[in-house]
Amino acid sequence: MSEQHKPWTAYYGPSVRKEIETAHYRTIGDMVSAVAHLYAKKPAFTTCLPNGMNGTLTFAQVDEMSNGLAVYLRETAGLEKGDRVALQVPNGLSFPVAAFAILKAGCVLVNVNPLYTAEEMARQFADAEPQALIVVDMFADKLTQALKGHPIPNIIITQVAEFFPAMPRSIVRLVQKHWDRTLAPIDLTHIRLPEAIEAGRQKSVSKEITVEAYREALLPDDIACLQYTGGTTGVSKGAMLTHKNLLMNMEQSMEMITGVEKGREVALTALPLYHIFAFTVNLLGFYYLGGRNILIPNPRPLTNLKRAMENYPITWMSGVNTLFNGLSNETWFQDSPPKHLKFASAGGMALQSSVAEVWEKVTGKPVLEGYGLTESSPVITFNPLGKMRPNSIGIPVPSTELRCLDEDGKDVPQGQPGELAARGPQIMKGYWKKPDDTAKIMQGDWLLTGDIGIMDKGGYFSIVDRKKDLVLVSGFNVYPNEIEDCLTRHPGILEAAVIGVPDGASGEAVKAFVVLSDQSLSSATIRAYCKEHLTGYKVPKMVEFRDDLPKSNVGKILRKDLRSEEFAPENGAQRNAS
């Protein structure tokens, strides 16, 4: 695609490369070790608990510990290059040590949500077939049931306060064991993470083993991660992301984030690191920059972030719309927003303009919206700092092409909606063991995203909605994002979600689910408000009031869950709806 067909490059900053020919490092393990030498004694990761207790590892410590664990995996556990290792750990010091060790060992990292049920774990284990599992002890009670279908021969157990100083670590353990009662006995054969690291250290000395030998056997196109996603077709699948995919996307993202200073940034990581955006941008990207990551094991309730924001000079944070909305409505955050913040970045779901406006009013700093998918490692577009456009996902990152296609796969006229198709070095190899599913969304080098977007004449893109979320009212296309944005602009509405429901007269009708901050509102007043701002066929025909809305582990509102509830056989009547 020529520069004439990449109008967005005109909005790149003077230091932004239009094309990134190759990543600085061959593999992620190479990057981890090289950066550790540059910033050896600087703090790399700090876990901050809600009460302020914390633990920190330097770049050198993370590098050395992950070397030891890599040797354990290969030499003691007997894993080989390409074997899968599942990692089921919340944000904490164990995560970077374990993730970097798996990648240094030449194994494939399989990120697993720690909150999964035993049934969900079993499905993912059966598909990925891991030879080892690193899991936090709080959730190890699910293992016996989860491993019935696919036994995993090597179990490594870690804890929330792993690598904390002795005193706070002991206090946390006592609270978990006797007060919270969150620790159950572990019946399966296992080894503790510190013991596995030490065993690897001893093995490397006695057998003169170097981790570099594992890394040298790797190629940039070797799979680094199986990142599970519902994808564009609904059923959970493992996106095969290579070392090159992730390293290139890390550099593409960092290229667009102007104003960052190497060795000086402090990133608040409230999004879980097993989520692809936090993995690529927070874990890899800010490590690459020599930044300090403040890890929050659990951001719910939002007061769990209070001590971290008070105790550390946060310069950057990422989140989803619901996180920024929630924080902006917290009194403690309004009274004392982070003083050193340069900007925040949003992804995962549409950033509502009302939320962005309130956030900037409270903090004095913008939220930069970007866009991507798990299948693209994930970043495809980003809003350049100082060149933001409201309601826009920004412009494609370097070495990325983006098009809007009609139903026949042809480019639509500029300014018209079409399915976004992306091409670039960050696009996955395909879905693990699912060639048919891969073929549905990969057209040659192009990834069909399933999202409907528009490109303006300057090359900025905006998302209209998910293709599958489109509501068809009397032949008119209705996009839930637009209606949700309208609803949340009402001062009495805290959150909103919109779906389509069957309607005899119009084929489908719009139904809104709202969470109120003003309990005096009625469905009639809400519909009247919408009529002032929306054309008639877009106005919700039904409004249902909720105390809360279903959300994913990262806070994304799940319309699919609302649809499932709505169309469940037992749900014959509309609850609280009118």
Tokens of 473: 């009212």
Phi, psi of 368 (to 5 degrees): -95, 120
Q: Which two tokens stand for residue 164?
A: 């904390």
Q: Is pLDDT at 175 greater than 80 in this prediction?
A: no
Give me the residues paired with residue 442 across strands.
Answer: 447
The pLDDT of residue 576 is 42
| DSSP-derived 3-state class of residue 381 | strand
Give residue 276's pLDDT.
93
Give the count of beta carbons closer than 10 Å to the beta carbon of residue 443. Answer: 13
Residue 543 in contact with residue 483, Cβ under 8 Å?
A: no
- Tell me the CA distances in angstroms from 60 to 42, 56, 92, 224, one per residue in order: 8, 12, 17, 22
Of the candidate CATH numbers 3.40.50.300, 3.30.43.10, 3.90.1150.10, 3.30.300.30, the domain formed by 470-566 belongs to 3.30.300.30
Decide: residue 488, CB within 10 A, 0-12 exposed, 13-18 middle, 19+ buried: buried
Distance between CA atoms of residues 56 and 72, nearest Å = 23
* Other Cβ atoms within 10 Å of 208 Cβ, number: 7
Of the candidates 256, 309, 248, the residue with the CA atom closest to the CA atom of residue 284: 248
Confidence (pTM): 0.86
CA distances (Å), origin 85, targets 101, 130, 532, 558: 10, 5, 54, 29
Across the range 552-578, mean pLDDT stands at 73
Type and span of the H or E element at 343: strand 343-346
pLDDT > 70 in the chain, percent: 95
Which strand (E) or helix (H) includes residue 34?
A: helix 28-38
> What are the tens digits of pLDDT across the range 12-37?
988 899 999 999 999 999 999 999 99
Most confident of 136-140, 335-339, 386-390: 335-339
**Which CATH class, in words, describes the domain spanning 53-218?**
alpha beta
Asked whether the domain spanning 470-566 has the same topology as the one spanning 53-218, the reply is no
Chain segment 74-98, per-residue pLDDT in tens: 999 999 999 999 999 999 999 999 9
What's the per-residue H, E or C state across 519-568? CCCCHHHHHHHHHHHCCHHHCCCEEEECCCCCECCCCCECHHHHHHHHCC
Q: From the CB of residue 10, how many other CB atoms can be counted at a distance below 10 Å?
A: 11
Do 358 and 345 meet the contact criterion of CB atoms below 8 Å apart?
no
Instruction: Determine the average pLDDT of the residues in 64-74.
Output: 98
* Residue 308, both tokens: 């971290």
pLDDT score at 172: 81
Question: What local confidence, expressed as pLDDT, does residue 574 receive?
Answer: 45
Q: Give the mean model confidence (pLDDT) for residues 208-217.
A: 91
Of 202, 116, 101, 113, nearest in space to 154 by CA? 101
Nearest Cα residue to 1 out of 429, 451, 415, 445:
445
Residue 578's pLDDT band, with cuts at 50, 70 and 90, is: very low
- Tokens 């040659």 map to which residue? 444
CB atoms within 10 A of CB 153: 12
Q: If DSSP codes are grouped into helix, strand and coil, which group holds residue 101?
A: helix
DSSP states of 265-296? -EEEE-S-TTSHHIIIIIIIIHHHTT-EEEE-
> Whole-angstrom Cα distance, residue 430 to residue 440?
10
| Joined tokens for residue 289 | 């920059």
Average pLDDT, the chain: 91
Q: Which two tokens stand for residue 362?
A: 């409270």
For 142-154, the pLDDT digits (tens) are 999 999 988 999 9
- What is the DSSP code string of 493-523? EEEEEEEEEEETTTEEEEEEEEEESSTT--H
Q: pLDDT grade, residue 330 (50/70/90)?
A: very high
- pLDDT band at 231; cut points 50, 70, 90: very low
Instruction: Determine the Cα–Cα distance for residues 486 and 480; give it in Å rounded to an integer.
Output: 10
Backbone phi, then psi, for 425, in 5-degree steps? -70, -10
Picking from 244, 253, 257, 298, the residue whose alpha carbon sits closest to that of residue 92 is 298
Domain locations in the chain as residue ranges:
53-218, 470-566
Residue type, position 187, single letter: D
Residue with more model confidence, 426 or 385 = 426
**DSSP run (H or E) holding 447:** strand 446-455
Q: What is the pLDDT of residue 234?
A: 46
**Per-residue pLDDT tens digits for 378-401:** 999 999 888 888 889 999 999 999
pLDDT band with cut points at 50, 70 and 90 for residue 577: very low
Per this entry, what is the length of the chain? Answer: 578
Nearest to 368 by CA among 426, 448, 281: 281
- Checking if the pLDDT of 119 tops 80, the result is yes
pLDDT score, position 570: 59
pLDDT tens sequence across 255-298: 988 788 999 999 999 999 999 999 999 999 999 999 999 999 99
Read off the pLDDT of each residue in 115-134 and give the average, rounded to a whole number: 92
Residue 535 has pLDDT above 70, yes or no: yes
Q: Give the per-residue pLDDT at 573.
A: 40
Token pair, residue 30, equals 């190479």
476-478/471-473 β-pairing: antiparallel
